[in-house]
Structure formats: C-alpha cells, structure tokens
Amino acid sequence: MLRIEGLTFAYPATDASAAPGPPLINGLSLELGSGEIVLIRGPSGCGKSTLLRLIVRLEEAQDGTIVLDGEDIRRIPVTTYRRRVALLQQLPVMTDGSVRDNVRLSFRYTHEVPHTDTVLRARLAEVELDGVGLEVPAAQLSVGQQQRLALLRLLAMRPRVLLLDEPTASLDPDAALRLMRVAARGWDAVPPALLVVSHQELPIQDTTLRILAFRDGRLASVSRDVDTSSGRDA
C-alpha cells in the first residue's frame, strides 16, 4: 500500500555556501501493507522522525520515490495526501480553545460535516477520554490526554496510514502501547496501517508486528527471537 524506494535525505547546510551535510537517510526502502503494524527502532537523532516527516512531505527528499496505492505521492495534491497519510507529532500540539474545538480542527480544511456532540463523546470514549467534557480547555488536559486527543483528531480523518512519532516522548511505555492499539483499530472496517518510530523499548507481545532497526540511514530487519524475549522482560 505504501512503498518507499531509495529514499535519500540530508539536511541542507546551515551556511548557504557550504555543501549539504552527510545524508541522514541513505537509499532507504520500506514496504507497508494494508493493516500492517511496523515499529522502527533506533537511537535519538538517527533520522527516524525525519523519515516520518519525509513521508508526510514536511521535508523534501533529495532522491527516491514514495508510492501510495500505486500512485506516486508527488501526483497527489499534498493537502489530500496528508489526510490519507497522517502523522501524530511527537509532542501533542493543542490550539487555543476547548476539546471540541480541537477535534473539529480535523474538519476545518475539508467539506466534511463535523461530528455532532453525541458522536464526539463516543469517539472520546474510544481513546479513553470518556470523563473529559467537550467544553474543557484543551490546554488543561494532561500531556497523555492531549496526545490521545491529538490521535482522535487524526482518526477523524480516516487515514489509510498512520505514523506515530516517538509515542514514548509524551507517554510511558504502557500508555504508548495502549495508544498504538487504539490507533491500529481505527474507526473503519479497514483499519489504518501503522508505522511507529521509537528510541525506547516497548513491551510488545504482538507477533503480527514487524520490527525494523534504523542503521546508517537504512532499515534492517530485527530477529523476532531477540525482540520477543526483550518484550517478555518488560
């Protein structure tokens, strides 16, 4: 469904006259199937988050192609594309206003009709925010609640692919895992494929999950045995 081939990226040099730095992402390839869950591991600063930013086109790759459902993403209008391939930012970003205002942001840039309050309450319950009032200023929520609200905002767009950037940056590993489960379920008969990057170990027991390691600007598969054992320890 989402196919990445030969992706290469280096941040431009800070000085305009100098050459760009060494590539952070170097000929990376990845294939993500429908409904699949992939976890990418790697140390901080290795380029995992940049990979996600490249996928949602917040950065521009120097080389390589990304194809969604057989179509080169450069041919899809970017504002449409970003609603099909959604990114949950590392730290939740709330705008001024209530919980309701924040969820309605999902519909601001489309012609879709926003959810009614009844639907909204049901959706809030799905992301474990059932006790939270719609009128509550979003800024008053805890970081964990804000991150779940941010996820709800993305799920409301019914994306085909959902990218999670370092869920443990704002949540503890268990909460991050619960967030991943909610994200993977989605709201439709066809749940979104999930691509998660994390520098921290997650106590995962799910065997359907594919784990990749980020090394030298590329992805390498990780032996299942190693991972499940570390998962059991956690």
Partner 1 sequence: MNGALEIGYGQLAFALLFVVIGGIASLRLKLGLERDLLWGTVRTVAQLLLMGLVLTWVFAQQSWWIVLGLYAVMILFAARIIRGRLRERAIPVFLPTFVSMLLSYMTISYLVVNFIVQAEPWYLPEYFLPIGGMVIGNSMNAIAVSLDRLFSELRRRRAEIELHLLLGATGAQASAMIFRDAIRAGMIPSINSMMGVGLVFIPGMMTGQILAGADPMVAVNYQIMVMLMLVGSTAIGSVLVVTLVRARCFSRDHRLILRRASSE
Interface residues with partner 1 (CB under 8 A)? 11, 14, 16, 45, 49-50, 56-60, 74, 78-80, 82-83, 86-87, 89, 91, 93, 95, 105-106, 108-110, 153-154, 157
When the beta carbons of 87 and 183 are compared against partner 1, the nearer one is 87
When the beta carbons of 1 and 76 are compared against partner 1, the nearer one is 76
Least distance CB 157 / partner 1 (angstroms): 7
Least distance CB 39 / partner 1 (angstroms): 21
Q: What phi-psi label fits residue 91: left (phi over 0), alpha (psi between -120 and 50 degrees) or beta?
A: beta
When the beta carbons of 159 and 211 are compared against partner 1, the nearer one is 159
Least distance CB 170 / partner 1 (angstroms): 13
When the beta carbons of 28 and 211 are compared against partner 1, the nearer one is 28
Which amino acid type is present at position 78?
Answer: V
Half-sphere exposure of 50 (CA within 13 A, CB side): 22
Give the SS3 label for residue 9. strand
Least distance CB 106 / partner 1 (angstroms): 6
Least distance CB 89 / partner 1 (angstroms): 6
Taking a C-beta distance cutoff of 8 angstroms, is the pair 51, 25 a contact?
yes
Q: Which residues have C-beta within 8 Å of that of residue 37, sequence separation ≥ 6?
A: 180, 184, 193, 194, 196, 206, 208, 209, 210
When the beta carbons of 78 and 220 are compared against partner 1, the nearer one is 78
| Total residue count of the chain as it appears in this document | 234
- For helices 99-108 and 117-126, the axis angle rounded to 10 degrees is 100
